[in-house]
Structure 1
Amino acid sequence: MSEEIKNTLDIECPHCLEENKINLSKEIRCKKCEKPLIGEKYRKPILSAMTTILIGSGLGITADAYLNINRASVKTEYKMMKTCIGLFGSYTFVRDRCACAVESMSGVIDAQRARILGIEKLEKILRNRYNECD
Structure 2
Amino acid sequence: MNKVFRFFTVSSVVVVLISLFAGINAHAMQMGNFINGEQYVTFSETERTLVVAGLFDMLSFEWGQPIYADAADSGTRAHMARVERCVQGKTLRQLREMLDGYFAAKPDAKRYNIASSFAAMLNTQCP
TM-score normalized by the length of structure 2: 0.28
TM-score normalized by the length of structure 1: 0.27
Greater RCO, 1 or 2 (C-alpha within 8 Å, sep 6+): 2
Q: Which has the larger radius of gyration?
A: 1
